[in-house]
């Protein structure tokens, strides 16, 4: 059994010990990753190249795609590699880096989703003051706040994980390194640093989620006052999927870190982690872009080889 002084690496178990199932999971994860990679890169490219999409809404969407691309790349490629090669080892430093990056991008995503809900609230509930509310300075500050929050909490969780002692098994019963899995194999009795970090993350998550709900309550109230049923149906069909993915992201993340730490591995624990690390980056391109008329129009212009710079009259109208 490895002790505190010799613990230099961990072993990631993944979803199954059966070789055939490992290959099945590797295939599924690889397909999901490629779909997320394609969708998010497409969003980034279109929102950069098409000047018609240089608005606050698509500015935040581009940032969300960058975060999602990085977020899913932290866990899924390593898991696929393990399933295909059966090489399960990850260094202590690599495990700590994974903890840092997961929290960096998860927290950044939470704050960007909050900013996007506020952007929709300002556009629908205060259309006359929208350009004043969502000016370049405000958008830049919100984006900077998302990355700064992610870095601070990421450093906090990474430093907390380094404070843990490991004197028994080095097998992590998960497909990536996270705090609950490390606590299962830790022999440290004092988890003050971990508890403080988790409390800070949960407080931020609750604040973001309440703010998002507040924004959508006002959005739905404004939508219900729209004159035509077609407009209301279109608005609800756009907003409800957004709210659904946000709810899954926040709720599963909270469940994973609030539930008691158990010694035995659980398939449900793995699925909960998938719902906040893999599902949002995979579904966001579909929900925010492929069902969006402006994004589809921009993609069509690219495929047809048309100019991505709007005519002068459109620019004047836009301004």
Q: 4-21: per-residue pLDDT in tens?
A: 444 578 888 877 777 788
- Per-residue model confidence (pLDDT) at position 316: 37
Average pLDDT, the chain: 85
Summarize pLDDT for 22-77 with one digit per residue, the tens: 888 889 999 999 999 999 999 999 889 888 888 998 999 999 999 999 999 999 99
Q: What would the pLDDT profile of 119-167 be if each residue is shown by its tens digit?
A: 989 988 898 999 999 999 999 999 999 999 999 999 999 999 888 888 7
pLDDT tens digits along 192-251: 888 899 999 999 999 999 999 999 999 988 888 877 777 777 777 778 888 888 998 999
Which two three-digit tokens encode residue 217? Answer: 């309550």
What are residue 172's phi and psi, to 5 degrees? -90, 120
Q: How far, CA to CA in Å, does 179 sit from each of 6, 96, 101, 262?
A: 21, 10, 12, 13
CA dist 177 and 192 (Å) reads 19
Give the start-to-end residue ranges of the domains of the chain.
Answer: 9-318
Chain centre distance of CA 202: 15
pLDDT tens for 85-104 read 888 889 989 999 999 999 99
**Stretch (H or E) spanning 10:** strand 9-12
How does residue 1 score in pLDDT terms, banded at 50, 70 and 90? very low
pLDDT value at residue 287: 84
Which of 170-174, 177-181, 201-205 is modeled with the greatest confidence?
Answer: 201-205
Reported as a single tens digit per residue, the pLDDT across 267-318 is: 777 888 888 999 999 988 888 776 677 777 877 877 776 656 665 444 433 3
Look up residue 81 and give its two tokens.
Answer: 């590699």
Residue 235: predicted pLDDT:
73
What's the pLDDT score for residue 100? 96
Please identify, in words, the CATH class of the domain defined by 9-318.
mainly alpha
Q: Give CA–CA dist 225/238, Å, rounded.
A: 16
Band of residue 262 on the pLDDT scale cut at 50, 70, 90? low
CB 277 within 8 A of CB 28: no
Q: How confident is the model at residue 190 (pLDDT cuts 50, 70, 90)?
A: confident
pLDDT at 233: 75
- Rounded to 5°, the CA angle 209-116-143 comes to 100
Q: Which band of pLDDT confidence, cut at 50, 70 and 90, is reported for residue 265?
A: low
Q: Rounded mean pLDDT of 173-185? A: 87
pLDDT at residue 318, rounded to an integer? 35
């Amino acid at each position: 059994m490895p002790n505190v002084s010799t613990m230099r690496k961990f072993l990631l178990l993944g979803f199954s010990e059966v070789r055939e199932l490992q290959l099945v999971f590797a295939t599924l994860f690889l397909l999901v990753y490629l779909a997320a990679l394609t969708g998010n890169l497409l969003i980034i490219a279109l929102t950069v190249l098409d000047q018609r999409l240089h608005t606050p809404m698509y500015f935040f969407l581009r940032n969300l795609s960058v975060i999602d691309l990085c977020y899913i790349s932290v866990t899924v490629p390593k898991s696929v590699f393990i399933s295909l090669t059966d090489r399960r080892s990850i260094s202590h430093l690599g495990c700590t880096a994974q903890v840092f990056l997961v929290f960096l991008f998860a927290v950044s995503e939470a704050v960007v989703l909050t900013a996007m809900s506020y952007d929709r609230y300002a556009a629908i509930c205060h259309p006359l003051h929208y350009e004043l509310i969502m000016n370049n300075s405000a958008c830049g500050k919100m984006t900077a706040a998302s990355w700064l929050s992610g870095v601070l909490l990421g450093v906090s969780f990474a430093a907390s994980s380094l404070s843990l002692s490991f004197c028994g098994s080095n097998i992590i019963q998960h497909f990536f390194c996270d705090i609950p899995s490390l606590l299962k194999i830790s022999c440290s009795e004092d988890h003050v640093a971990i508890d403080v970090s988790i409390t800070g993350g949960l407080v931020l998550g609750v604040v973001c989620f309440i703010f998002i709900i507040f924004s959508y309550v006002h959005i739905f109230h404004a939508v219900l006052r729209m004159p035509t049923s077609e407009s209301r149906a279109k608005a609800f069909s756009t907003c409800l999927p957004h709210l659904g993915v946000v709810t899954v992201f926040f709720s599963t993340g909270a469940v994973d870190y609030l539930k008691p730490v158990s010694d035995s591995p659980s398939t449900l624990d793995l699925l909960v982690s998938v719902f906040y690390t893999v599902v949002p980056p995979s579904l966001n391109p579909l929900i925010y872009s492929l069902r969006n008329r402006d994004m589809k129009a921009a993609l069509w212009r690219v495929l047809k080889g048309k100019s991505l710079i709007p005519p002068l009259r459109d620019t004047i109208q836009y301004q």
